[in-house]
Amino acid sequence: MKITFLGTGTSQGVPIIGSNHPVCLSHDTKDKRLRVSVLIEWDDFCYVVDCGPDFRQQMLTNHVNKIDGILFTHEHADHTAGLDDIRPFFFRQGNIDIYGHKRVLDSLAIRFDYIFTTENKYPGAPSVDSHEITNTSFKLKNLDIMPINGMHNKLQVFGFRFKDFAYLTDMKTIADSEIEKLKGVKVLVVNALRIEPHISHFNLEEALDFINKVQPEKAYLTHISHLLGFHKTVEKNLPKHVYLAYDNLQITI
């Protein structure tokens, strides 16, 4: 299984437009962060988790020619706003499979009504096949996927376990029963927004505490804001098995 971090930034990305913060002015490419998303490939299958406003750029940068579907963690714009850019895939492949909580699918159907409508459809609009996710395992091709239920302040979000790999973002609280689903995972990705506490995201301390509970072989931090600090500085102060993810990083499990 190959994992590509398409984006590792928070909702505004890094750098933030017009910001003079030192991290936003950094020349280190690892401090340049598009909106958070990950590409997961195994056998001949290719799935994306979340489809934010940088989706087109991410697909071009990583030379992605085919996707088998998109899994949505939740409905916020930094995770969904790129849905229209599935058009090239749709024109080559036909309807694109999307997966999400019913609430998320309903939200997308309102915001992108021209994609979901079946009446008087604009000829250039893509189409999707929607698949509702509940908090039980489901199958993508030949792989069983386990949703991990969490809370983003007061909003429910899903993370996903793909065999020995688990991807969680925008988490603030996770029940012990959900953490049990992650036991034995080899590689864990989890959000770590900044140093200071935040109402709806793990900060660095909370992310490291969560990693300690799960006990993966390796962990990667994502959904990072400029307030976490420079990549080089943060990385050298992390535990040996914890790494700061960056855009276009690829790992194999």
Mean pLDDT, residues 62-71 taken together: 98
Q: Which residue has the higher pLDDT, 75 or 119?
A: 75
SS (H, E, C) 192-237: CCCCCCCCCCCCHHHHHHHHHHHCCCEEEEECECHHHCCHHHHHHC
Confidence of residue 94 (pLDDT cuts 50, 70, 90): very high
Separation between Cα atoms, residue 181 and residue 168, nearest integer Å: 12
Residue 142 per-residue DSSP state: T
Q: What is the pLDDT of residue 175?
A: 98
Domain of 186: which CATH number?
Answer: 3.60.15.10
- Torsion sign (Cα): 18, 19, 22, 26: negative
Average pLDDT of the chain is 98
Q: Whole-model pTM? A: 0.97
Can you give the residue range of the structural domain that contains 134? 2-252
- Torsion sign (Cα): 118, 56, 232, 167: positive
Residue 44 per-residue DSSP state: T
Mean pLDDT, residues 219-233 taken together: 98
Are 70 and 51 in contact by the 8 Å Cβ rule? The answer is: yes
Separation between Cα atoms, residue 134 and residue 231, nearest integer Å: 36
Mean pLDDT, residues 161-169 taken together: 98
Tally of domains in the chain: 1
What number of helices (H) and strands (E) belong to the chain? 8, 14
Q: What is the pLDDT of residue 225?
A: 98
Are 151 and 117 in contact by the 8 Å Cβ rule? The answer is: no
Q: Which residue has the tokens 């080559």?
A: 92
Q: What is the pLDDT of residue 100?
A: 98
In the chain, % of residues over pLDDT 90: 98
Are 50 and 11 in contact by the 8 Å Cβ rule? The answer is: no
Confidence of residue 20 (pLDDT cuts 50, 70, 90): very high
Q: Where are any strands of DSSP class E within the chain?
A: 2-7, 37-42, 45-49, 69-71, 96-100, 128-132, 138-140, 143-152, 155-162, 165-167, 187-191, 218-222, 242-244, 250-252
Q: What is the pLDDT of residue 143?
A: 97
